[in-house]
Amino acid sequence: MRIDKLLAAGGTRSFEFFPPKSDDEARVLDATLADLVPLAPSFVSVTYRGGGESRERTFDLVTRIEREGVMTAMAHLICVGHTRAAMADVLARYGAAGVSNVMALGGDVPEDGSSVASDFDHAIDLVALAREVGDFAIGVAAHPQGHPRSPSRASDRYHLAEKLSLADFAVTQFFFRADEWSTLVGELADLGVTKPVLPGIMPVTTLSGVARMAVMGAAVPDELISRLVAANERGGAAAVRAEGIAAATALSAELLVRGTPGLHFYTLNRSTATREIHRALFEV
Mean pLDDT of the chain, nearest integer = 92
pLDDT at 17: 93
Side-chain half-sphere CA neighbours of 186 within 13 A: 7
pLDDT at 212: 87
Domains, the chain: 3-282 (3.20.20.220)
pLDDT at 116: 62
pLDDT at 126: 95
> What is the separation of C-alpha 10 from the centre of its chain, rounded to a whole number of angstroms?
19
pLDDT at 109: 57
Hey, which residues are catalytic here? 16
pLDDT at 96: 96
pLDDT at 235: 96
Q: Which of 232, 171, 221 is nearest to 196 (CA)?
A: 171
pLDDT less than 50: residues of the chain: 111-115
pLDDT at 148: 81
- Beta-ladder partners of 44: 15, 73
